[in-house]
Structure 1
Amino acid sequence: MLRLHVGKNAPKYYKGNWSFDSKKDALNFEPYHDLEDVEERYISTNSFNFLRTITQEEELVFRHVYGRDDTTYDTRAVELNDIRDLVLFLMPSEFLRPKFVEFMHHQAVYHLLHSLTIYFEYYLRMVEFVLIRRDEISGETAQIQNEQTNDVKRVFSVYLSQYRMLVARNYSVIIKGEGDLEKFYHMKKLVNISQSIWDKNFHEQLLACSTQIVWIAMHRRAYNVIEMEMNRLFCSEHFVTARAGYPIFTPAEKSLLYGRNSRIMNYRQQVSPLIQELQKLNNEDLPILWIGKRKYRGTDIRIMEMELEYIVPGPQLRLIDVAHGILGHPRKLYNTILELHWPSVRYSNFSKHHDPYFIVRQPLLKIPKMDEMKRRQMAETYESFYKIKEINDHPSRAIYLKWVKRDKLINDYRSGVLLTSTLLRAENELNSTSLRPNVDQIIADYKKSVAKNRKR
C-alpha cells in the first residue's frame, strides 16, 4: 500500500526544451510552465484522449507507485504487462472504473493483446511490402509481375490470415463470457436483458486501449495504420471512418491484406473480420486453434513456427531470433514512457552482426518456398498428449483500487504530499507494532517464489 507524508522539501522537476542561444553562445533551457498548453500533449484514439507525454511529477508517481517492482520475474526486460500498465496510466479518467481495470488485468485479455502484438508485427511488414510493390509496378520503370510473384503474395496473405485466426480465437473466448468472464458479459442474469449502452462503451474502451498498447509495442510507428486496422478487425469496414492519415488500398491490395475470408455485406448482416476467419477454416489450419493450449504434434512446420512464436515469453524471443516490437528488449534502453533512449543504444554497440533485439537490423518477410501450400496440405497431425500450463499471478483487489485512485494520487503529490522514500518506509515498518511474519515464514515464501520462477 502507498504511504504518503507531507514535507516542505518537495523536489521540483522540470520538463522543457534545450535550444542554442547564438547571442550568449550557450545552451538555454526553456521549461514548460504548464504542460497542458504544449502541443501534442494528447493523442486521440477513437475520440478518447490519451496522454502522449507526462510531466515529471506524473513520472515520479508512475515509477514509485505503478511501475513493476524490481523483484518481479524478468524485470530487466520489457514485457507486455509493462506496456499495459503504462497505457492504464495514460488513459482518460473515465476509463478508471474498478470493473474495467480488473478486466484489463484478466488473463484472457492478456492473451488477446499478446496475439494482437504478433499479428500487427506481421501486418505492418505486409503493409510496407504492399506499398513498396505499388511503387515498383507503377511509373516509367515499372516491373513486370510473374506467376511466382503472385504465389509468394498468396502465401504471405495466408500467413497473415493465420495470425488473424489466433487473434479471433482469443477474442471469441472473451465475447462468450464463460467462467470468470461472466461478470463482464453484457447479459444480465435471470432477466436476460442486454446492457447495450454499457457494453458499447466497454467495447470502445477496450478497443482504444488495445490500439494504444499495440502502437507503443510497435515502437510508436504507423499509428494511423494500426488504428484503422484495429477498428476494421473488431467492427468491420462499415465502422472505419475516413481520415486524412489513413492509407487507401486498392481492391487487389485489400484482398492481399484482408485475406480470402473477408466479405463485405449489408451492415445488418455484417460480422467482424475476426469472426469471419473462424467461420471457414481449412483442415490444415485447425491446429492453430489449440496453440498455447496443448503441444502440437505433427509435421506442419508452419504450425510449429507459430506455436514457438506464441508460447515463448517476450524476454526469451531473442533466443529464437524473433521480433515482436519492443517486447523482450532491455529496459535500460527505454525511458519511463517506453520511448527508445538513443544514447543508451549507442553505448550498447549493436551492429548487424550483433543485434538480438532487431534494433539495427530490419525485420523482414521471409520468402517462402514455392511449394509451401502443397507441403502444408500433405502434412500430418497426430494426437496430442501434452497440455501447456501457464503460471499466472492474479493481482489483488488493492492493485485495482490503486489504479482507480490514480488521479487522486497525482493531485495529492502536486499539492505537496511526498511519496515515502524506501529508507523512511523501512523505518516505519521497523517502528510498527503490527504483527509481521516470522523468519521461517519469510524463508518459506522465498523458496516458494524461487521455485515458481524457475519453472518459467
Structure 2
Amino acid sequence: MGSTSEFDDDEDFTGLYENGHWEWDEKEKGLAFIPDPDLFAEESWMSPPAAAIGGADFKDDIDLVEQLRFKKAFARKTFDGDVVKLQDIKDIVLYTAPPVFLNPSIIHLMHLPGTDRFLRALILYHQYYLQVADEMSKRMLELEVKVRTPYGDIIEKEYKENLDDLRLLITKEYSAFAIGSGEYKKFHHMGPAKDRPSLSKKGNILFETLIRLSIQVVWLALGRKSFNQIELEMHRLFKTEKYNMVEHKLKSNYAAKMSPQERYVLFGSCVHNDRKVNICSPLRNESCKDLPDWRLLGIGVFKYPNLGRRLKYMQDALTLPEMLLEKKRIIVGILGLARSRFDTMLKEITFPVGTSSTSMVGGARTSVFRKSISRATSRVSRVSTSRKSIGVSHLTIPDKLIPDIEFPTRETETEWLPIKFPDEYLPQNSCDLTQRRKWLARATRLALKRARRLRRTNRAKK
C-alpha cells in the first residue's frame, strides 16, 4: 500500500464531467455536456456600479417599441389559458435592470429552484405583511373610540405567528445561500469547497444585487403597489433597522411612528438590539427562537407525512406549479392568474367605464388597451401613485387584483414525531433553461460591448 503522498494530487483532480450540467441538444438529438463558467472569475464580473450597493434605476417607462422588442427576443412564449409565472416576472426584472447587473453569476443564481423558493417566500411574506400592516393601522384607529377586548389579542397573536412563520421560510432559503450549501456551493465567496481566500467584496456585490432584484420581483408580483414599504421591510429583514439604507435615505421614521402593539405584531419578538457593530438581522434572530413547528425548517424541500392544512398551504405556495395555484386557492401575488389579464410588462389590462372586454374586438382592443401606463420618471424609490396622478381616473380598476391571504388556523396541525429526519425530497419545479440561455447570451453581448468601450477609452487616453 502506497503512502498518502501518492494520492495528494487527487484532491485537486477534476473529472471530465464535473462543474457542468447536461442539456438536450435539439440539433444533435442527444445530451450535451455544458461546462459551467467560473462564477467568480474576474472576467465574469465587471466593475460594480454604485447602484449595485443600495438603490438602482430600473426602466419603468418602457414604450411600445421596447415592449415589442422584449416580447420578441426575451419574453417566454405563452399559450391560450396560460398563467403568470415567476419566470415572467424575472424576465421583466432582468430586462429593465441596469445592464451592469447582468453577469453570469446573477443569471445562474436567478435560475435555480432554490432561488425560486426564496423569491416565492419573499412574495408571500410581503403580501401578508402589507395586508396585516393595513389591518393593524385600522385597528389602532378604532381603539381610539373602542375598548380593547381579549378577542382582539387572539387575532393579533395569530397575525404575529403567521408573520413569524413566513419570516422563517425566508430564513430557511436565505441561509442555504449564505453558507453556500447544495446548489449554492458555486456562489460561496470562498469557493465551492470553502478553501479559497475570501472574496468578500464580490460576495457582497452578489448579495446586494440579489436583494435589489428581489425587491423588484416582489413589487411586480404584488401588482406594482407599495414599493416603499416593500423596500423598507426588505432592507430591515436583511440588514436590521440600524443598517436600513433606504430608511436612512427616505427618513420616513416609520418604525418610530408605530404603536408598541404594531411593532410587536409586524416585527415579531425576536428583534435583538445588540451593539451597533454586531449585525444581527431579524432573519438571523428568527432561526434562534423556540420554533412552533420544526417542520418549517425543511418545508418545500423534504417530503413530510401528515402535514396539516396550514403547513400544506405554505408548502404549496413555495413549490406548486403556477398552473395549479388558483385551483388550490393558493395566493402568491399575481402568480397563477390568467396571463391574458396583463399586458407584455405584466400591468393589468383595464377598460373604460361602461365598456366590457368583450365589446372590443381584434386589433382595436390590443392597440388601445395593451398600452403600458407609464409611471413617472424612473427613480430609485417610488411612492405608490394614485389614479389621478398617473392619468387613469377614467379606467375601471378592480379594488382587489390580489385577494387577501387567509391561512388555515394553527389548531388544525397534527403533532408528528418521526424516528428520523425525513430524507425523501419533494419534486422541484425546474427552471426554464431556454430563458436562462437567452439571458446568458444577453449578458455576454453586454460584456463584450463594455470591453470594446473600455478598449476605445484606453486607446483615446494613449
- What is the aligned partner in structure 1 of residue 266 from structure 2? 257
Provide the C-alpha distance between the structure 2 equivalents of 1:63 and 1:75, rounded to a whole number of angstroms.
Answer: 18
Alignment match, 1:215: 219
Partner residue, 1:379:
415
Specify the alignment match of 1:225 in structure 2.
Answer: 229
Q: Partners in 2 of 1:404 and 1:93 — Cα distance?
A: 8
Please tell me whether residue 195 in structure 1 is matched to residue 202 in structure 2: no
Q: Write out per-residue CA displacement over residues 103-150 of structure 1, whole angstroms, 9 at most, x where no aligned residue.
A: 212222111101111111211111111111121112xxx111111211
Higher mean C-alpha deviation, range 320-329 or range 120-129: 320-329
1:51 Cα offset (Å): 0.9
Task: Tell me if the contact between 1:294 and 1:388 (Cα under 8 Å) persists in the aligned partners.
Answer: yes
Task: Note if contact 2:113-2:429 (Cα within 8 Å) is conserved in structure 1.
Answer: no
The alpha carbon displacement at 1:179 in A equals 4.0
Indicate the residue corresponding to 1:168 in structure 2. 171
Change (3 A) 1:261 1:386: same
Which residue in the other structure is 1:16 paired with?
A: none
Which of 60, 65, 72 is the equivalent residue of 1:64?
72
Deviations 1:372-402 (A, max 9, x none): 56x75x7334566853122524626743432
User: Please, which moves more after superposition, 74-83 or 165-174?
Assistant: 74-83
Kept in 2, the 8 Å contact 1:297–1:382? The answer is no
Alpha-carbon distance in 2 for matches of 1:252, 1:400: 45
> Contact conserved, 2:176 with 2:182, CA < 8 A, in 1?
no
Consecutive unaligned residues of structure 1, counting only runs of 5 or more, are 1-42, 350-357, 411-456
- Could you list the per-position Cα deviations for residues 400-423 of structure 1 after superposition, in whole angstroms to 9, with x for gaps in the alignment? 43231576999xxxxxxxxxxxxx
Could you say which residue in structure 2 is the equivalent of 1:297?
305
Aligned-CA RMSD value: 3.3
SS in 2 for 1:152: helix
> For 1:60 and 1:409, how far apart are their aligned partners in 2?
24
Aligned pairs for 1:243-282 within 5 A:
243=250, 247-248=254-255, 249-282=258-291
CA shift for structure 1 position 262: 2.1
Instruction: Compute the displacement of 1:252 (Å).
Output: 2.5
Work out whether 1:392 is the aligned partner of 2:399: no
| Contact 2:52–2:209 (8 Å) recurs in 1 | no
Q: Distance in 2 between matches of 1:348 and 1:244?
A: 47
Q: Which runs of 5 or more residues in structure 2 are unaligned?
A: 1-50, 360-397, 450-462
Q: Which amino acid aligns with 2:415?
A: A
CA contact 1:68–1:75 (8 Å) conserved in 2: no
Q: Distance in 2 between matches of 1:361 and 1:64?
A: 27
- After TM superposition, give the deviation of residue 309 of structure 1 in Å: 3.4
Counterpart CA distance in 2 for 1:186 and 1:324 is 32
CA distance in 2, matches of 1:346, 1:80: 29
Corresponding residue number in structure 2 for 1:336:
344
The count of corresponding residues between Structure 1 and Structure 2 is 351
Which residue among 156, 181, 193 is the counterpart of 1:153? 156
For normalisation by structure 2, the TM-score amounts to: 0.68
TM-score (norm 1): 0.69
The CA distance in 2 between the partners of 1:407 and 1:55, in whole Å, is 21
- Matched letter for residue 363 of structure 1: P
Identical pairs, percent: 26
Per-residue Cα deviation, 1:257-292 (whole angstroms, up to 9, x for no partner): 11122222113223221121111232x410112212
**Does 1:309 pair with 2:317?**
yes
SS at match of 2:334: coil
Aligned residue number for residue 442 of structure 2: 403
